[in-house]
Amino acid sequence: MSKKGKKAKMPLSDEEQLLLFQQKLLAEEEMAKKKERLLNQFLKDKLAKEEHNSALNLNKINTQWRTVLREVKTRELHKDIEILSQTFERVVDCKDSVIKSLVKDLSEAEEQYAHALRSHLHNIDRLLALQRRRLSLLEESYNVELEALTKEFETERKTIIDQHEKEIHYLQDVFMAMEQSCIDSEYESKLEFQSMWEDLKNKNLEEKHFLRLQLEHTVEDLWRRFQDALKNYTDATEDRKIAFETLKVKDEKSSKEIEAQMKKIQRLQDSIIILKGKIMVHGRESEEQNRDIREDKELVLVQLRKLKALRTQARGISQENLVKLTLESNATLKALRKIVDKGEKVLKLAEICRKFETEEEKVLPFYSSVLTPEEQEDIEKIDPEEFNEELGKVIMDYIGMENFWKRYNKVKLEQLSLQHRRAQLLEINEKLREMLKQYLDGISVSDEVLSQLSPRFIVNQSSNLPQPPSMPTAQPGDQKPPATYNIIEAAHVIAHIL
C-alpha cells in the first residue's frame, strides 16, 4: 500500500501535465458541444410544438367565429325573407286588382268594338252594292257602244280587204300579160336574129332598148297607181280614225255626265232622307233627348274607364321608371365610388412617386419629344384622311392623356433600362464572385481545395496540373511554340529553404 501511495504521489512531468490538460479541454469541449446540440434539439422541438399548438388554436377560433357569423347571417336572411314575402304579397294583391279591372275594361271595349265593326261592315256592304249597280250600268253602255264600233270596223275592214285583193289580182294579170308579151317578142326577135344576124343587129339593139324603156314606164305607172291606192286607203281610214277619236271623247263626256247625274241623284236622295229625318225628328224629340242623355252617360263612363286605365298605366310606368332609376343610380354610385377610389389611389401613388423625382423631373415633368427630326417629318407626311372616323374619335377622346402617357412611357423606359443594368451588374457580380472564389481557393488549403486542380499547389517541386504534351522538334522555318512557365509560391520556397 505504501508503494502504491508513493507512486500516486509522484509528481507528473510537464509533457504529461500538458497531455492531461489537453484531454480535459477536449472533454470539456465535447461536453459543451453535446449540451449545445441537446439545447438546439430541445428548442427545435419546443418551437415545432408551439407552432402546432398555435395552428390548432387558430383553427378552433376560426371555426367558432364562422359558426357565430353563420348564426348572425341566418337571422339577417330570415328577417329579409319575411320582409320580402310581405312586400311580394302586397304587390301580388295590387297586381291582381289591376288585372281584374283591366279584364273588365277589356271586355267592355271588345263589346263596343264589335258593335262598331258590325255597323261599319253594314255601311260598307251598302256602298259596295251601289257601286256594283253603277258599274253594271256603265258596263252595259260600254258594251253596246263597243259592239256598234266593232261592227262598223269589221265592215270597213272587209271592204278594204276586198278592194286590196282585187287590185292585187289585177296587178298579177297585168304582170302576166306583160311577161307573155315579152316572151313572144323575145321569141320573134330570136327568129329574126337567127335569120338576119348581120343586117338587123343594130336594129334589134334599138328595139331592145325601146322595149326596156317601155317596160320601165309601165312599172312606174303601176307603182304610182299602187301608191295612189295606198294613199286613198290611208285617207279613208284617217277619217274613220278621227270619227273614232271623236266618239271616244263623246263617250268620256257622256260618262262624266252620267257621273254628274248620279251625284245629283245621290244629292237628291240625301236631301230626301234629310227631309224625312226632319219630319221624324219632331215626333221623336223626347226619345232622342233620353237617348242623348244615355249616350252622354255612357261616354262619361267610357272616359272614366279610360282615365282609370291611363292612371294605372302611368302609375306602373312611373314605378318601373323609379325602379330603373334606383338601379341605375346605385350602379352609377358604385361606378363613381370605384372611380374615386381609383383616383385617390392614383393621387397617393403620385405623391409617393413625387418623393423619388429628380430635380430635373420636378422642373420639366413632360419631355417634348424623343423622336429624331427624320421620324418627325415622316409622321407629318402621313395624311390624316387615311384614318377612319372611329380611330379619329378614339384619338380625340384620349388627347387629354398625352402628358400622362409621356410620363408613363418615360418611367417604363427607365424601368427597362434599370432592369437591363441590373442584369448586367448581376452578371458582373457573378464573375467577380467566381474570381474571388478562385483567389480564395488559391490562397487556402482544405480538403475541397486539395481535391481540385490548383496552379498554386506544388509538392516536391511539381504541380498537380496536367502537363502539356511534349512538343516535337522545331523544323526550320516553323514558328517557335509559346514558352510555358511554372509559378512557385514564395512562401513554399522559403519554407523548404529554411
Task: Region of 387 please: left (phi>0), alpha (psi -120 to 50) or beta.
Answer: beta
* Residue of 222, 231, 233, 227 lying closest to 171 (CA atoms): 222
Residue 488: inside a domain, yes or no?
A: no
Residue 133: inside a domain, yes or no?
A: no
Q: Determine the Cα–Cα distance for residues 285 and 292; give it in Å rounded to an integer.
A: 10
Q: Determine the Cα–Cα distance for residues 182 and 219; give it in Å rounded to an integer.
A: 14
CA angle 24, 27, 29 (to 5 degrees): 110
What single-letter DSSP state applies at residue 384? Answer: G
Q: Determine the Cα–Cα distance for residues 58 and 66; give it in Å rounded to an integer.
A: 12
* Structural contact between residues 222 and 127, judged by C-beta atoms closer than 8 angstroms: no
pLDDT at 494: 44
Residue 146: inside a domain, yes or no?
A: no
Residue 27: inside a domain, yes or no?
A: no
For 472, the 3-state DSSP assignment is coil
Mean pLDDT by 10 residues, the chain (498 residues): 46 76 85 86 86 86 86 88 86 87 88 87 89 89 89 88 86 82 78 67 71 80 81 76 80 82 82 78 73 84 88 87 88 91 85 75 62 67 57 65 75 88 93 86 63 52 47 46 48 48
> How much is the pTM?
0.26
* Residue of 404, 280, 417 lying closest to 350 (CA atoms): 404
- Give the length of the chain: 498
Amino acid at 466: P
Residue 462: inside a domain, yes or no?
A: no
Residue 392: inside a domain, yes or no?
A: no
Residue 272: inside a domain, yes or no?
A: yes
Domain that includes residue 280, residue range = 249-356
pLDDT at 429: 92
pLDDT at 385: 53
Residue 44: inside a domain, yes or no?
A: no
pLDDT at 93: 86
Indicate the number of domains in the chain: 1
pLDDT at 97: 86
Q: Determine the Cα–Cα distance for residues 491 and 442; give it in Å rounded to an integer.
A: 13
